[in-house]
Amino acid sequence: MSLLHIPNTYSAQTKARARIESEIAARAIDALLAAGFHLGLSNGEDDLQLFPKSGRDEILDAMWKTDEEHLLVFRPGEASAFGWVFFVYGNDGWDVINDRTTNLDEWLVPVEEWIAEKWE
């Protein structure tokens, strides 16, 4: 659910939370793609979706199928994930990044600092 795909049936409060979650996810994805990583998505129900050359909109459109999912981070040409970001939806919005591997600090700490400045 990218910003353009937030259902009109949501309440105003839910729409606001979904916008925050989408904005944060987009920033995290942008940071990782800019660093040259390839991304995959695992929601625990469907098969792993890989996005080796995709832009963030395709990845965002694949997200929000379940209440939580892992964004898997791959170095180009490697089959094993280098790291992951765990997204949990439906809480306060700003806390959508529930957990992640610390080896992604270089790219995600700036995103987390932005979150803290804007919402916490």
The model carries a pTM of 0.88
Looking at the chain, which runs of residues are DSSP E strands? 38-42, 49-51, 68-74, 83-88, 97-100
DSSP code, position 53 = T
Q: What is the pLDDT of residues 56-70, one digit of tens each?
A: 888 888 888 888 999
Of residues 5 and 45, which shows the higher confidence score?
A: 45
CA distance 100 to 71: 9
Domain extents in the chain = 3-118
Q: What is the pLDDT of residues 70-117, one digit of tens each?
A: 999 999 989 899 999 999 998 999 999 999 999 999 999 999 999 999
Contact in structure between 64 and 89 (CB atoms under 8 Å): yes
When pLDDT is averaged across residues 23-52 and rounded to a whole number, the result is 88
CA distance 81 to 66: 21
